[in-house]
Structure 1
Amino acid sequence: KVQSRCELPSQEASSSRRHFVAGATIVTILTINYGLAPSTVWADDKSDDEEEKDGVIGALKSLFDPNEKTKSGKVLPKAYLKSAKEVVKTLRESLNEDPKDNAKFRRTADAAKESIREYLGNWRGQQEVVQEESYVEIEKAIRSLAGFYSKAGPSAPLPEEVKSEILNDLNTAEEFL
């Protein structure tokens, strides 16, 4: 008589395993369909602004949203805001640097020049920002600086009057960012 080396599970064990798998599948389907669905809310809903600020969904939305709300409440491109803030920061640092410390002054001036080039290269004439107060003020500050150096030469010391005018423009621009 030939004996089989592998034993087949009994009909009863196979049936119980089948019931277990079917039950687990039903529980999974019910959990997905009803457990994760938003339940009816009886309390007052939060306003859309509050809801967007709170929670994971709001964080993900703001992470992938190309726009950002400014201090003044306007919605502008994040890239513009980042670039404009960088220009304000580096130009202010450069203007406040002591021109007698030539190495440090050059370093801050070069950083300011680079941020201005990037800003103008990306945003000059862009219709989405050209009417913004921050854009107008930053451009005014850059024009004042360029106007002075084109008349006085690239290595001329910046007079306090011009410096304070530019710093005022930068402060005004920062208020709108």
Structure 2
Amino acid sequence: MKYLSRHCMVLLLGLAAFGAQAQDFKVGFVNTDRIFREANTAKAAQAKLEQEFARREKELNDLGTSLKSASDKFEREAPTLSESQRQQRQKQLIDQDRDFQRKRREFQEDLNARKNEELQQVLDRANRVVRQVAESEKYDVVLQEAVYINPKHDITDKVIKALNALK
């Protein structure tokens, strides 16, 4: 009996010590999606990408429009064309469409690669700022992904303000 009460006393003291320690444990949360949407660096990166790819996107849209009009014209004229002319025009349209699809795929791949580069730079900056905020405010852990987080632990606004303050 003495042995059991001694263990209970040790267990209670341990729980009390853990409770006191747990109160000192400070958790923060950062919403990276919000950083990518709201931080000035992310907006600047998006604007840079739009400017960089605007010309190619316009050329691609123009090419798609001309391909569509050529296809519509072929559909209208097909009944009056000879079999050889119809086959020749159809082959031209297929070749143009294949070229258009290839250019569109290349454009999308290039855009995605550049977007990943830019977002990685924004994320690297954000992570440095998160570390600074965590160290200055003495956070023990800062999470970036969670199923649920109490809004009182969200430090995203602080991080965005700090990021926007950087030049």
TM-score above 0.5 = no
Structure having the larger proportion of residues in helix: 2
Which of 1 and 2 has greater Rg?
1
